[in-house]
Amino acid sequence: MNDIMDMKISGSSAMPGGEYRTVSISGSGKVQGSLRCESLRCSGSANVQGDVDCAGEIRCSGSSRVTGDITCQELGCSGSTRCEGSLRANGRVHSSGALKVDGSLEGGEVDVSGGLEAGEIHCGRLHCSGGARVSGGVEAESVHLTGSAVIQGLLNAETVEISASRASGSAASAAAASASISPPRSPCWACSTAASPAPRWGTSRATTWTWNTPRPTWSGAAGSASARAAPSAGWSTARAWTPGTEPWAKASAPVKAPSDMELLYADKRIAVAVKPPGVLSTDEPGGMPELLRAQLGTPCIRTVHRLDAATGGVMVFARSAAAASILSGQVREHRFRKIYLAVVRGDPGQGGIWRDMLGRDPVRRVTYIAREPGKDVRPAELSYETLAVREGLSLVRVTLHTGRTHQIRVQFAGRGFPLVGDRKYGGAGDGEALALWAWRLGFTHPETGRDMVFTHQPPAAWPWTLFPLPETGK
């Protein structure tokens, strides 16, 4: 740009866009077209009708408006600034006035004291003392917000501090960060959070959360839980965090998840976890929803499908009312793909498809194969293949086509092949655990529409250790 001249605008004059060395606007000047320069100074109300590409600093002491994108090394504003496109600064973004970015805001450090609005934010450090409203997600190393905080997407940061009169979206989903809103009574207080576009997800890390309110400050230090997403094009792993205590927690001792409960995936709409045998899948004291609320630090976890208490394996839970409705619809329409591993007594043959009519005895709480149709008798279908036979036991892989109570256990026991450890249906020995494992689960993501599949091997214990287990990728 050595041969390019400087441009100065004073008063209400207008100049064409183009390439300049330095640009100075001291009045309500207008640039008609995109602007490229080494530095930009505005002491009035500048209006650029296009993009701004500045190799150096942009300094504005008045109100400025750019109808396109802004790219610069550093941005400093003491007045109000409006960018109708995206704003990207390689260094610091500082504004003592209001800053509004319709698109994404990216910077090494973002410090705004006059109020901030943005589509989504990606930065190293975010500090906003005048309130913030973000329609998408926030991804930063640290976040400090003072004032009204509304983040409708995922809040992804190593450290978060919120001193707010009201918080909603991700912040509200994580905690009742409010001096005027009491801690929620219902565990699904955040279920009504409005749906928003899917944010960019980042790699899970340990997280520290601090909410400062007129009440005693609550803070929680993250544990070691992590979330791992199945790799797919354009996606990174999902975010998860583990506060130690929640503002809405009961006064009694906090619920602790079993040490072997593993979180496979989590985003703002769903959580996929491995249910340990012996833990209820329903929303009861000590059940999976309660454990996940404690582990994820979120008040909304809803069960959309079930596993018997004695059965372990992969389950998906909804983190909003909308997600629960969509996933429940997939269950009703038999669109969940559920594959189990089981160890049965005897050899059921190479494999096949079994169709039965199953009834339910509500008094004895057992399911049975019905000889004829009747009240509460429903069709049941599964397919299976025998993977290996050892010591009078068989490892089978079972695909459920319907989801009846105790279906696998009853259909195998009814043919003389009860599951190992099944006390209810005749397959138990002394001290044996039920050998039934929810090995693979497939479904459609309720927001993105992506096909998601999760697989997890059963524990390394008898009788599973008798057999070579199938590879998770097959």
**Could you give the residue numbers annotated as active site?**
308
| All residues at 6 or more sequence positions from 435 whose CB lies less than 8 Å from its CB, including other chains | 342, 343, 344, 419, 420, 421, 463, 464
Assess contact for 422 and 433: CB atoms under 8 A.
no
Task: Give the H or E element holding residue 295.
Answer: helix 288-296
In whole angstroms, give the CA distance from residue 110 to residue 74: 10
148's CB contacts (< 8 A; 6+ apart) are: 131, 132, 133, 164, 165, 166, 167
**Residue 375 three-state SS:** coil
Check if the beta carbon of residue 47 is closer than 8 Å to that of residue 35.
no
CA distance 395 to 345: 9
In 267-392, beta strands by DSSP E? 270-275, 302-303, 312-318, 337-345, 351-361, 366-369, 378-390
| Residue whose C-alpha is closest to residue 121's, from 150, 81, 148 | 150
Q: Is the dihedral of CA 308, 312, 318, 324 positive or negative?
A: negative
Asked if 118 contacts 101 with a C-beta cutoff of 8 angstroms, the reply is yes
Whole-number Å distance between alpha carbons of 197 and 219? 29
**H/E segment holding residue 415:** none
DSSP category for residue 419:
B
DSSP category for residue 67:
S
**Half-sphere exposure for 28 (CA within 13 Å, toward CB):** 1
Cβ atoms within 10 Å of 443's Cβ, excluding its own:
23
CA distances from 433 to 46, 162, 205, 275, 408 (A): 73, 46, 35, 15, 16
246 burial via Cβ count (<10 Å: 0-12, 13-18, 19+): buried
- Indicate the SS3 state at residue 210: strand
Q: What is the dihedral of CA 16, 22, 26, 31, to 10 degrees?
A: 20
Instruction: Report d(CA 111, CA 368) in Å as an integer.
Output: 66
